[in-house]
A and B are shown apart, each in its own frame.
Chain A
């Protein structure tokens, strides 16, 4: 199992390195995505340390649930053209931040419980953002082939991650008292993470401020 966990960390490290090396030629949203990859890597390592030292990584997961959402929401903030959607993103970030604190203190104590109350709505919000961005992309397509657009890969990563992780958390809640399915949910969890990390890596590899800034049709 530790091989699976470490492989995920190595993948995230590779993605962070891709982002750092290409940082100067990335568009602003993808610079933020690079920072989010670095943050995810640090959080994953901290999670490992907490697990080993204190027997639980719940506090780290509370922080991860919030930071992950804030970073991706920020990426979307820069990707959207509509001012109304940008405002909605800011409101959602403020709302989720306040709710995370309340949840960590009163609903799902940060020292012992996994923050599903934060995860589920943020995943749903990310799926909504990705669908809206797909719509925006269709309304103003670029001349650059779709598969060479970092935006497409990032959005695909988010819609994939948002839906599958939502299902996974749901299934975890349903089968919480069935240890027979634990290993399946664990593998499913890491399969999602691998695919998501690879898609984010492709997004960082394909984005280029020189291509996307002048190629609107």
Chain B
């Protein structure tokens, strides 16, 4: 009887010890695997973020170069050619007419100098870093107003704060993408741009009165620019909502919580027990 009791005691105790130890070892292995998988996912996310930032920079440089080359070709070259022709004065002109032509040419050259100065302020990644998103968008708005392509209303609310150079770059690319869509495809007459800086919320809204489009377009190949806006917003932890229907214009709104956005870039958020 005594031997049997001891045997049962020892066996049941040993079985339980093995079971608990086995469970703990299994948990340690599972946890380690999860740690490795999460680390890899985080690295992939960071790599994607860096790639997207680089892509946004390259796209901005391309857009800037296109804009500068367009300006040189369509504006500066034309004005300077006109000045050249104007200064090749026939010999029979009176002194008075000569003076008139010279004054006219001086004015045109002065205007060209101003245009060149504006060109030197063309938008680039460095501009967003030094001027900030608000000022950069303001410059872009002025440029569109000057071109006369659209009637633009620009509004901003709240006390502006920095969202970080990389998120601001992404936001500016979203703004450019939305603007390009309006200019190229919307046939809009009026565009309303608004920026709202609240305590823990930032909003960027672009609203046009153009042709609009059906929601289906978002999922078509032709709507890749709009899909790009949503993807880029998600990359910095923002949410982009695109509302449109045929004949009713389009409204693109990007909402960002500045406190949460960095999770996507460096994963430094707290989630500790206790």
Contacts and interface: CB of A to CB of B under 8 A. Distances in A.
A216 B269 contact: yes
A147 B272 CA distance: 15
Interface string A142-154: 1100110001000
Given A27-B272, A156-B24, A217-B38, 10 more contacts: A141-B38, A146-B28, A146-B31, A151-B274, A163-B19, A171-B9, A212-B273, A214-B268, A216-B269, A216-B270
Contact of A140 (B32, B268, B271): B271
Interface of B: 1-2, 5-6, 9-10, 12-13, 16-17, 19-20, 23-24, 27-28, 30-32, 34-35, 38-39, 42, 267-274
The main secondary structure of chain A at its interface with chain B is helix
A180 interface: yes
A164 B17 contact: yes
A175 B28 contact: no
Contact of A79 (B16, B271, B273): B273
B109 to A, nearest CB: 60
A184 interface: yes
A59 B217 CA distance: 76
B270 A181 contact: no
A142 B34 contact: no
B12 to A, nearest CB: 6
Nearest to B42: A217
17 contacts: A29-B273, A78-B274, A138-B34, A143-B39, A146-B31, A146-B32, A151-B273, A160-B20, A178-B2, A180-B1, A180-B6, A184-B6, A184-B9, A188-B13, A212-B273, A213-B270, A216-B269
Nearest to A79: B273
A19 to B, nearest CB: 15
| A: contact size bracket | 35 or more
Nearest to B31: A146
B264 to A, nearest CB: 14
Contacts of B35: 141-143, 146, 217
A101 B25 CA distance: 39
Contacts of B270: 213-214, 216
A137 B272 CA distance: 10
A63 interface: no
